[in-house]
Chain A
Amino acid sequence: MSDRVVITGLGVISALGTNVEGNLDALLHERSGIGPITVLPTRHRGSIPVAEVHLDDDALAALAAPRAVRSWTRTALLGLRAVKEALAHAGIDPAAQRTAFISATTAGGIDKTEPIYDQYFLPEIPDEAAQYLGTHDPGDHAQRIAAELGFRDLVTTISTACSSSANALMLGDRLLRHGLTDVAVVGGTDALCKFTVNGFNSLLILDREPCRPFDRDRAGLNLGEAAAYLVLETEARARARGADVLAVVSGYANTNEAFHATASSPDGTGAYEAMRQALAMARLAPEAISYVNVHGTGTPNNDASEGIALNRLFHGAVPPFSSTKSFTGHTLGAAGAVEAVYAVLAIRHGVHFANLRWRTPLNEAPLVPVTRTRRDVAVRHVLSSSFGFGGNNTSLVLSAPEARP
Chain B
Amino acid sequence: MKRPVYIREASAIGPQPVFDTDRLEQVAAYTTHPLNAVVPELRRYVDPVRGRRMEKVARIGLGTALNALDRAGGAAPEAIIVGTGLGCMESTERFFVPLLHNNEDVPNPTAFIQSTHNNVAGQIALATRCTGYNYTYLHRGISFTSALLDGWMQVGLEGRATVLVGGAESITPDYYLVQRRSGIWKQHDVPNLEVLRATDGGALCGEGAAFFVLGDTPGPGTAVRVVDVDISYRGGAETLRDRVQAFLQRNGLSTDRIDLLMTGRNGDGPQDGAYAPMEADLPQATHAAYKHLCGEFFTANAFGLWLLWSGLRTGHLPAEAVLRSGSAAPRWGLLVDHFQRTDHSLVLLERIGP
Q: Is A133's CB under 8 angstroms from B131's CB?
A: no
Interface string of B118-157 (1 = CB under 8 A from A): 1101100110111111111111101100100110010001
Q: Is A137's CB under 8 angstroms from B134's CB?
A: no
A36 smallest CB distance to B (angstroms) = 17
The answer for the CA separation of A154 and B134 in the assembled complex, in Å, is 20
CB neighbours of A147 from chain B (8 A)? 234
Interface string of B75-113 (1 = CB under 8 A from A): 000001000011100001001110110011010110011
Q: Is B234's CB under 8 angstroms from A152's CB?
A: yes
**Which of B39-47, B174-182, B255-263 has 4 or more CB atoms under 8 Å from chain A?**
B174-182
Q: Is B119's CB under 8 angstroms from A390's CB?
A: yes
Q: Is B104's CB under 8 angstroms from A158's CB?
A: no
- Listed residue (B99, B108, B118, B157) with the most chain A CB atoms within 10 angstroms of its CB: B118
A132-165: which residues lie under 8 A (CB-CB) from chain B? 133-134, 136-140, 142-143, 146-147, 151-161
Q: A139-B85, A392-B122 are in contact. Are A199 and B95 (CB under 8 A)?
A: yes
B214 smallest CB distance to A (angstroms) = 16
Q: A43-B103, A152-B234 are in contact. Are A258 and B139 (CB under 8 A)?
A: no
A256 smallest CB distance to B (angstroms) = 4
CB neighbours of A120 from chain B (8 A)? 177-178, 181
The answer for the CA separation of A180 and B179 in the assembled complex, in Å, is 33
Q: Is A138's CB under 8 angstroms from B138's CB?
A: yes
- Chain B: which residue is nearest A178 at the CB level? B157
Q: Is A156's CB under 8 angstroms from B109's CB?
A: no
Q: A152-B235, A154-B231, A199-B95 are in contact. Are A389 and B133 (CB under 8 A)?
A: no
Pick from A143, A153, A392: contact of B232, CB below 8 A: A153
Q: Is B116's CB under 8 angstroms from A161's CB?
A: yes
- Answer whether residue B187 sits at the interface, using C-beta atoms and an 8 A cutoff: no
Q: Is B234's CB under 8 angstroms from A156's CB?
A: no
Interface string of B189-232 (1 = CB under 8 A from A): 00000000000000000000000000000000000000000011
Q: A114-B100, A159-B117, A255-B131 are in contact. Are A134 and B139 (CB under 8 A)?
A: no
Q: A121-B177, A156-B146, A254-B135 are in contact. Are A137 and B113 (CB under 8 A)?
A: no
CB neighbours of B85 from chain A (8 A)? 137, 139
CB neighbours of B231 from chain A (8 A)? 153-156
- Answer whether residue A117 sits at the interface, using C-beta atoms and an 8 A cutoff: yes
Interface string of B166-186 (1 = CB under 8 A from A): 000000001101110110100
Q: How large is the interface on B (under 10, 10 to 19, 20 to 34, 35 or more residues)?
A: 35 or more
Q: Is B233's CB under 8 angstroms from A134's CB?
A: no
- Chain B: which residue is nearest A259 at the CB level? B126
Q: Is A155's CB under 8 angstroms from B100's CB?
A: no
Interface string of A175-217 (1 = CB under 8 A from B): 1001010000000000000110011011100000000000000
A103 smallest CB distance to B (angstroms) = 8
The answer for the CA separation of A136 and B85 in the assembled complex, in Å, is 11
The answer for the CA separation of A257 and B133 in the assembled complex, in Å, is 10
The answer for the CA separation of A171 and B231 in the assembled complex, in Å, is 14
Q: Is A43's CB under 8 angstroms from B118's CB?
A: no
Q: Is B109's CB under 8 angstroms from A203's CB?
A: yes
Interface string of A35-51 (1 = CB under 8 A from B): 00000001110000000
CB neighbours of A195 from chain B (8 A)? 92, 95-96, 99
Q: Is B118's CB under 8 angstroms from A273's CB?
A: no
The answer for the CA separation of A152 and B122 in the assembled complex, in Å, is 31
A257 smallest CB distance to B (angstroms) = 6
The answer for the CA separation of A178 and B184 in the assembled complex, in Å, is 36
Q: Is A153's CB under 8 angstroms from B233's CB?
A: yes
Q: Is A133's CB under 8 angstroms from B181's CB?
A: yes
- Answer whether residue A236 sits at the interface, using C-beta atoms and an 8 A cutoff: no
Q: Is A199's CB under 8 angstroms from B130's CB?
A: no
11 more contacts with CB within 8 A, not counting A120-B181, A133-B178, are: A110-B92, A133-B181, A134-B182, A137-B140, A138-B138, A152-B235, A154-B231, A159-B136, A171-B150, A180-B153, A392-B118
Binding site for A on B (CB under 8 A): 80, 85-87, 92, 95-97, 99-100, 103-104, 106, 108-109, 112-119, 121-122, 125-126, 128-140, 142-143, 146, 149-150, 153, 157-158, 174-175, 177-179, 181-182, 184, 231-235, 298, 342
Question: Which are the 7 A-B pairs with shortest beta-carbon distances?
Answer: A256-B134, A199-B112, A139-B139, A159-B117, A133-B182, A138-B138, A202-B109
